[in-house]
Structure 1
């Protein structure tokens, strides 16, 4: 059984297109010029300060820059700044919630009395964490 003529034409066109695409030379695709990589770099940095002299100036400025957090007044005054965390903790202090220790003596439990050995358990006095109102004293009297 032979294929229709138009399928043969499409297959032939695809093969010719693929072979034409592979026949391009490397020199035509990636031409080599007299420019070095440094020349290309200098052309790319024209907008940000000029050629080699502008790049040297930018490099010198970058060496003089210090990080924002190293010895700056911002880092020294960070403990005095208002943040959400220190606002909550400074205004609404947690009230003490002591742990209670309870010893459960050995006993029998269940519908068929099974022996349960004695054990110790720890639980907080209050079910939820309680907070003091602003200005309320939380230290011991």
Structure 2
């Protein structure tokens, strides 16, 4: 029986797949004595290691805990009104209609039917798209 390159490739893939099972879990993923809580405290800088990471975390927390200014207090009602859900706001403000241009077509005079009947030339108008399409919120802001 002759060996083909597909047999050799299959044998090589099987050997590679089985060699992955020879690695021990402890060697691949060593498990220390620290818990997730200990790792969290160490990385957040709350434990014994207080360094640059701890300072950055403290600065970020202070920025979030800042008091509201007078300008923030005045701007709050207008900002909240933009997010109030009403039926008119949902349809007309968030989902704008996309343009659907009208196509004008001229049909030349022709003969139609089994008995050739002359049909005069005429003009007809139809929309480009079959249905009205709406934009996703924020996709189109100008009206047409």
Bin the TM-score by the shorter chain.
0.3 to 0.5
Name the larger-Rg structure.
1
TM-score (normalizing by structure 1):
0.40
TM-score (normalizing by structure 2):
0.39
